[in-house]
Each structure stands twice: as structure tokens, then as C-alpha cells.
Amino acid sequence: MKNVKRGVLHILLVVLAIAALGYIAIVGIGAQHKGTAKNIRLGLDLAGGVSVTYQTEKANPTTREMDDTIYKLQMRVEGLGEEPIVYKEGSNRINVDIPGAKDADAVLKKLGKSGNVLFVDAENLAKYLKNSNGGVQEGAKLAVSEKKLYEENMVICDGADVDKATAETQSSGQSGATTKDNVVSLRFNRKGTKKFAEGTEKVHSKGGSIAVIYDGEVRSNATVDEAITGGQAVIKGQKSFEEAEELASTIRIGALPIALKEIRSQVVGAKLGDTAIQSSLLAGVIGLVIIIAFMIAFYRIPGLAASIALIFYVGAISFTLNCFNITLTLPGIAGILLSIGMAVDANVIIFTRIKEELGEGNTLETSMKNGFGKALSAIVDGNITTIIASVILLLLGSGTVASFAKTLLIGVILSMFTALFVTRFILNALISLGLTDVKFFGKAKKIRTFGFVKNFPKFATVAAVFIVICVGSLIYNKANTGTILNYGLDFKGGTSTSVTFGKDVVANDAKGDMEKLVQSTLSLNPEISEVKGENSLTIKTTVLNKEQREKLSKAISEKYNVKEDNIESETISASVSNEMKRDAVLAVTVAVILMLLYIAIRFKDITFGASAILALLHDVLIVLMAYGIGSAVGVITVGNTFIACMLTILGYSINSTIVTFDRIRENRQVMSKKTELKDIVNISVSQTITRNINTTLTTFIMIFMLLLLGVSSLREFTIPLIAGLIAGAYSSICLTSAMWYYVKKLFSKKK
């Protein structure tokens, strides 16, 4: 009876926890409805945001100057807590797309007006100012060019010498009274430190001051109390923290390699649109229902416990995304999909172990204890390698890589907690209610051992055939299109066409017809977004030549009765800059190295790491094959999601590999020393084959529903992901462990 009471109490606690998370997700907390799912910040690709266009003041900036400016601008906006897309438009313009933002003015205030910042010896500055009245006052304008100040040796340093500028509040006091001063804290780079030290020493000796001039206007004039040689300084005298923050922003933006001026800001619609979000949510719900049905049908009572825990997990991840203000993008959704797969996977590992223990004749209590205990190492090792990868990608990556890493890190931590604690808590509660009959749990049948090692040459041949197809598709694409893959706008840039409609046409209503018009006129798939508040659309396509531009302009003009003066086209650069590609490659390389080092240390055998590398290479090539074939037939373009897809498969594959390796390690310890190594490998793979199939199946269900119900723009993400899932399952079952056996033999012979 006591057990029944305890079971009811535990189930009630779980139901209340899920209900609380559900209430928060649907209704929210307080008057502002904090925590609701609809308040999760969405990226520009899902929900639109603010787009700001800057133009360089320098007429013909170099490619290096533009690349450096784009990269620094990307880092700066990310520092404001957003997930931006920064890319070049034409030869001297830069676009900053800030997802989730609705107020362009507020964004511009945060960014600051992009001009040039000068730190000037103010001794003789007054004579170069308009209406100065003999002094240097804030707001005074230069009456001469900045070049004149350089010629007069009045400029101590400029914005390019500043490494960091932040607004702070400092305490100060006299005669026991304490006040709060709003200041701007500066940190100079190596060159700036030397310049500022020499300049402040000179100004201090004269009892003078240093003026901060921004875009030809005096923004601050601070007295120099002492020579500053340490590379750090404080600008005092700001009336409010907001004023200090604005000055700090001014200095930061002025530290760009080239001066910029804002020429356009607008609120834009989502690239994928509301339809994509709704269909993706529907696909997720249907996929989750199918997974729950599968888990209950296959694992019975444990499956029911896992299903309840999975519902808890969905609510918890929604709540966590809100708490940490994570901006959710399509790559971020990839991270969540992978973490859901890992949450299911952890439960599958545990339940498989429980079945094995019951099959050996152990009691339910003993089977539960042993099942969770034996599954722990595989779950922890698999999740730790993924956490290592997530942290490295978060620290070294930017843009889509960072977005993927954030959601994956949160998802993996929550999934591990859910599987090890929530599922166990629910399962114990169900047992307390009297559901103790072994038939509700299932017994593992005697496993038939297959000769994976013996048949490895056949499996390797199949893999080699697909790799040849991969290489062949890339060669075919290169010969026919000049590139190995069908790179999208994110990677190679294109043409942006802006169409402003008259009063008789509503831009939002014209989006669908416009897409069909571009497809029929140019045989291209465009990205179309609405410029809210301006009754206009922005159409992005691959680079159009003069003839194509004129053809498109004529077609639009005839269909919508738009004057050709209201149709403008500009060439835009790739939003994935070379620096972002470099960061992605560096992040992935470091992550893979650290994961493999962990495997080698944890398993005390470097050959495990070597085999894992070969398996990862196989899986990546199969995904590349999907992109290659998709590019050849014109159904897939390689965009921002390419990086996220590759990262997802790497995480999935390494996790599956570790589960099998963990079983090999265990069997080597418990089996007779006379048992041959190849037999241990065959037995271990046979024991984990159900886990590999079931985990792949549940993850496949979720992604397939996204492919089936999602919009066409999601195809370039889901098709390669499905190919990678199948490849990962194949390599985990048929290749990795047998490969480890042969690598182990090779190392042993060399020894």
C-alpha cells in the first residue's frame, strides 16, 4: 500500500512538473507572459528582423578592408546578444541582418552611427571648431577636415587603436559620501597603448585634456589626470549610464578598419516565412507522437516512462531557450533534433540493458539496478564527447555554427538529465503502482551473433561504391557548372532585386506569385522577403547578368504594373565570409581532435580513436554525396544549413560509435581471455544492433516528418541529414568495430 501511495505521489509530481512547463510554454509567467514558446527568439531565417545597410566613406575600399570590417562587425553585433548575418553588397556596402529585432531605430542606437573616432589633443582644437566661443564643448562641429588635425599632429590615436570600449558604473566619494559615476572604460591594442601613453604624457605635462571626436563632432572632452601607460583608460563625466553606453558604442563602431555611414534600415520578413514555422511545428508534433507510440509498443512500461520523460524534455528545452534568450535558427533546430535523438538513444540503451538482465533470469529490481548501471558509461561517454564538441564550436565558431552549438549544448545536458533521472523516477513510480510483471518489460531473446569481422570486406566494398558515387557527382557538377556543389547565396552571393509596388498591389499578397514569376522567367529558385512598412519585396537570386536583369525587370513591370524605376538590382556578396568559414573549419577540427583524445583516454586505446576517424570520414562523404547528387539534379543548394548538417552527423555518428565501443570494452573485461578478439567484436556489435536501429529509426521519424510536411526550402537540410543518419547507422553496425579489429591487428603486428 505504501508503495502504491509513493507511486501515485511520484506520478503526481511528474504530472505537475509537466503541467507547469506546459502552462509556462502556452501562457507564460506574469503580466508579460515570460517563458512562452511563442516568445522564443527566432532567427532571421525563421522570423525576420531588422536589416541595416552601411556604405563605406572610402570610395574604393580594398577586399581586405571590407573582409576585416565585415568580420569585426559580425563579432560586435554578436556581442550584443544576437545571431546576425553580415555580408557585403556591391563593392562598398555592408548589410547587417539582426534577427528577432522589430525596432530599427533601437538597433541603430545600439550599433551607433558608423563614423570615425579620433582622440585629439584639445589644446588648440577650439580654433578648428564651429561656434566654439573659445572653448571645446560637447556637440561642437569641426570646421575643418579630419585630415587637417592629422597634419597639425593633434591626433593622438583613432578608433582602430581601441580593442574594447564598455560602459560601466564606478563608485567614488569624498568625506564619507559615496556617488556613482557613469564612465566609459577603454582598452587599447598594442599600438594604441603606445600611442595613448605618449599622448597622455604630453597632454598631462601641459595640464590639458583629450577630446573624443566622432564623425566630425566633439563627443567628450576629458581632463588628463595622469599619463596612462597601461593600455586602459576611463572617460568620466557622462550624465547617465545610457549616455556612457552610447559613447562606448560610438567608440566601438569607430574602431572598424574603414569608416561607414548608415544609408538604409528596414524591418524584413522571414526568409522561410510563417508557413515554414507552422509546418515545422506540425511535423515536430506528429513525429513526437509517432516516436511515443513506437517506444510504448517496443519497450512497453519502460517505453511509457520514456515517453512521459520525453514530453517533460520538450517543455524543459522550451523553457530553457527562453531563460537564456537563445535565438533559434534552422541550424539551431538541427541541434535540438540531434539532442532529441540522443535523449531517445539514452533510454534505448538503458531499456536494452534491462531486457538483457531480465533475460538472464534476474529479478526486476536487480535488472533495473544493473541496467541503469551498465548503461551509464555509454551514455556519459557519448554525451561528454558531444558536450566537448558543443563547447569548442561555441567558443571558436560564429554565426550558424554558434547557433547550432548553443542549442545542442543545452539539449544534450537536458537529455542526459532526463534519461538518467526523470525516466528512472517515472519508471520507479510505475513499478510502485504494481506494474511489476516481467511481461510489461520484456526479456531479451538469445542474440544471434553475426560475422561482422568476416564480412567486413563486403561491407567496405558497399561503402566504397557510395564514396565513388560521391566523387563522381562532384566531378560531374564541376564539369557542368564549374563548381563541385550547387552553392547558394550564403556561399557565393548573388543579385538582390528590390521591387516597390503601387497602391493597387500588396507586397505580402504578391510573394507567392512573385516566386512563380521568377521561376518561370529565369528558371531559378529565389529567396523572397517582405520589406515591412514599405510595400516592397526583396528578391535574392544567384548572380544575374545584364540580360537576365532586364528580362526579370520587364516581367515584373508587366505583371504588376510597376515602373522600372521602382525595380532596383544590386550584387550581394556571400553571407558566409571567408573568416566565418575559417572559424567553422577551426572549430570542427579542434572539436574532433578533443573528442578523439577523450575516446583514446577513456578507452585506454588509441586504435579506438583511429577507427572513429575513419567512420566519421565515411559518414561525411555520404552526406557530401547527397549534396552532390542533389546539386546535380537541382533539388539542393548548399547554404548556411550545410555546416549545421555536417555538424549534426558528426555528433550523431560519434555517439553511435561510442556505444558500440563501450560494449566491446565491457566484453573484453568480462569474457574469457581465451575468447578471440574477432568473436568479442561480433558479439558486441550483435548486442548493440537493436539499439543502433531503434535510435536511427526514432531520429529518422522526426526528420522525415520535417521533410514530408515542411516547405520546399527545408529540403536542402533534411535530405542530406537523412542520408547521414542512414550512413551513421551503417558505419556503426557494419564498419566501425570491424575496422577497429583490423586497425588493432595492424598496430599489434607493428609492435
What are the residue ranges of CATH 3.30.70.600 in the chain?
A: 494-572
The C-alpha torsion from 538 through 539 and 545 to 551, rounded to 10°, is -100
Give the residue with greater pLDDT, 595 vs 112. 595
For 4-18, 269-283, 561-575, 627-641, which range has the lowest pLDDT when averaged over its residues?
269-283
State which amino acid sits at residue 416: M
Judged against a pLDDT cut of 50, whether residue 468 lies above it is answered with yes
List pLDDT tens digits, range 212-240.
887 788 888 888 888 888 888 887 777 78
456 pLDDT band, cuts 50/70/90, is: very high
* Residue 472 reports pLDDT greater than 70: yes
Is the CATH number 3.40.1440 carried by domain 117-255? no
| Residue 272 confidence (pLDDT) | 56
User: What is the per-residue pLDDT for 1?
Assistant: 40
Q: Which tens digit of pLDDT belongs to each residue from 726-737?
A: 999 999 999 999
**Cβ distance 303 to 311 under 8 Å?**
no
Query: Over 50: is that where the pLDDT of 420 sits?
Result: yes
Contact assessment for residue 385 and residue 277, using Cβ atoms and an 8 Å cutoff: no
CA 11 to each of CA 365, 367, 434: distance values in angstroms, whole numbers, following the listed order? 19, 22, 13
Q: Which of the four pLDDT bands, split at 50, 70 and 90, describes residue 546?
A: confident
pLDDT tens-place string over residues 711-724: 666 677 788 989 99
pLDDT at 467 over 90: yes
H-helix segments, 561-676: 578-603, 606-633, 641-670
Cell numbers of 323, please? 531563460
**566-594 burial: b if 16+ Cβ within 10 Å, else e:** bbebeebbbbbbebbeebbeebbebbbee
Gap between the Cα atoms of 602 and 418, Å rounded: 24
For residue range 278-307, what is the model confidence (pLDDT) as tens digits? 777 787 788 889 989 998 988 889 889 989
pLDDT at 77 over 80: no
Q: Say whether pLDDT at 616 is over 60.
A: yes
Name the segment(s) of the chain with CATH classification 3.30.1360: 117-255
Encode 226-259 in three state secondary structure: CCCCCCEEEEEEECCHHHHHHHHHHHHHHCCCCC
Angle, helix 677-709 to helix 641-670, in steps of 10 degrees: 150
pLDDT given for residue 686 in this prediction? 92
What is the four-CA torsion angle of 671, 675, 676, 677, rounded to 10 degrees?
Answer: 0
CATH architecture designation of domain 456-472+577-750 = Up-down Bundle (1.20)
At 266 the pLDDT is 63
* Positive or negative torsion for Cα 244, 249, 255, 259: negative
Q: How far apart are the first and last CA of the chain?
A: 63
Three-state DSSP class for 171?
strand
What confidence tier does 276 reach under pLDDT thresholds 50, 70, 90? low
Is 533 exposed, middle or buried (CB count within 10 Å of its CB: 0-12, 13-18, 19+)? Answer: exposed
The CATH number given to 494-572 is: 3.30.70.600
> Residue 113: pLDDT band by 50, 70, 90 thresholds?
low
Output the nine-digit C-alpha cell for 748. Answer: 599489434
In this predicted structure, what is the pLDDT of residue 463?
95
Whole-number mean pLDDT of the chain? 81
Range in 250-259, 562-571, 603-612 the model is least confident about: 250-259
Task: Determine contact, residues 125/154, Cβ cutoff 8 Å.
Answer: yes
Of 579 and 565, the one with more pLDDT: 565
Q: According to CATH, where is 1.20.1640.10 located in the chain?
A: 2-24+273-440, 456-472+577-750
Single-letter amino acid code for the residue at 412: V
CA distance 638 to 627: 7
Most trustworthy range by pLDDT among 291-295, 401-405, 442-446, 578-582: 291-295
Look at residues 374, 345, 351, 256 and name the one whose alpha carbon lies nearest to residue 302. 351
Digit-coded pLDDT (tens) for 172-190: 655 455 677 888 888 888 8
Within 13 Å of residue 345, how many CA atoms lie on the same side as its CB?
A: 34
426 vs 398, residue with greater confidence: 426
- What confidence score (pLDDT) does residue 343 get? 77
| Residue closest to 599 by CA, chosen among 740, 435, 417, 750 | 740
Q: Residue 119 pLDDT > 50, yes or no?
A: yes
How far apart CA 263 and CA 20 sit, in angstroms, is: 47
Cell of 75: 563579432
List the CATH code of the domain at 49-113: 3.30.70.3400
Q: Where in the chain is the domain with CATH 3.30.70.3400?
A: 49-113
Whether residue 533 has pLDDT greater than 80: no
Rounded Cα gap, residues 586 and 574, in angstroms: 20
Architecture per CATH, domain 2-24+273-440, reads as Up-down Bundle (1.20)
Q: Is the pLDDT of residue 31 over 70?
A: no
